[in-house]
Chains A and B, each alone.
Chain A
């Protein structure tokens, strides 16, 4: 069996974390799948999907760490008109942070429920907002 749902978000800030755990649990619960895998995947190249603990202190630490690793004020090559687009490329830090974060996560599903650690939550990371973002949640199994 296979179940896929799309979720659309309007992010409000340049960098932002959005909790997705409730959406993931809901899709798994409604999928009818008892045993399999659930995947959360972003459809963008300047966002990330991460698993971490839902604490505001960690949220700011992660944001600060990414800013130290990928500063805004250095001369990136991805800062130019892209002829294929006809518009400016000005989001190199978003692409690099996206690469660091990864674009997906996966969890087992057993007896119709997610198998997750107590401290684990799933987040969409916005790295080039505000923007309209789409995330897919897929459940496969039997």
Chain B
């Protein structure tokens, strides 16, 4: 069986980066995870082992021009990965409105060796097709790194979905066919828009980090068997959908179980649970 990779997790409350109580509380408020607790790495590894997950992609968030703060920094991500490289894949985050955004991204790729770029249009207040973003996309292409965009509604505070409707990303897909990018959360609730983009643009991916109602099995059945045609992923989108949990907001363990129970072919499950992430990461 292929390695299982969760392409969408937030290390925001890892004990190793939360020695300062004020930072910890800021992170709770910034993420809208108001009762989050400090998480020892041992617990993360126990969850991964129980769920059969080999690696987690860790996503930081740079809100320099929005909050005047960075929720989790690229340096913190790099340090976590350095200590436990066999379990984690580190992404970078850059606030696109920073004057030194491109330098920060170059540093993250060249010096910190991070694997891709996370951008959050709703929280960082930009439309993905704004020209201000183009140098960042070109930097990713130059370094053969992917972009993981937040897409769809966000439960974080101070977010507006208008920036992140899936259709807003079509211009990027058209202008940058060599840029691999992922629409996180399958762009929920606009999942048919996401499916349409995946169908047309092979460089566009989506992750499964969506659990906005019900339990994982119920919600995945609703989205992947009712909102989308029952066979759409298994027949047409199987090379572009990646397992992502959005942990700790959603429940990683039950989401893996629910994906395995959805009825896709075994080869599709291998793609979704890990092989597509490897292709996405390049």
Contacts and interface: CB of A to CB of B under 8 A. Distances in A.
Interface in A126-142: 129-132
A85 B254 CA distance: 18
Q: By CB atoms of chain B within 10 A, which of A10, A73, A130 has the most?
A: A130
Contact of A131 (B35, B43, B215, B248): B43
B34 A132 contact: no
For chain B, which range describes its interface: under 10, 10 to 19, 20 to 34, or 35 or more residues? Answer: 20 to 34
Interface string A1-37: 0000000001111100000000000000000000000
Contact of A132 (B43, B213, B214): B43
Interface string B230-254: 0000000000000000001111011
Q: By CB atoms of chain B within 10 A, which of A75, A86, A90, A132 has the most?
A: A86
Tell me whether chain A's interface is mostly helix, strand or loop, or mixed: loop
B11 to A, nearest CB: 15
Contact of A86 (B39, B215, B218, B249): B249
Interface stretch (B44-52, B106-114, B165-173, B191-199): B44-52
Contacts of A85: 33-35
B46 A10 contact: yes
Contacts of B32: 86
A85 B249 CA distance: 9
Contacts of B43: 10, 130-132
Interface string B178-212: 00000000000000000000000000000000011
29 contacts: A10-B40, A10-B42, A10-B46, A11-B46, A12-B46, A13-B50, A14-B253, A75-B218, A80-B213, A81-B212, A81-B213, A85-B34, A86-B32, A86-B33, A86-B35, A87-B248, A87-B250, A88-B250, A90-B216, A90-B251, A90-B254, A129-B50, A130-B43, A130-B47, A130-B49, A132-B39, A132-B40, A132-B42, A132-B43
Interface of B: 31-36, 39-40, 42-43, 46-47, 49-50, 155, 211-218, 248-251, 253-254
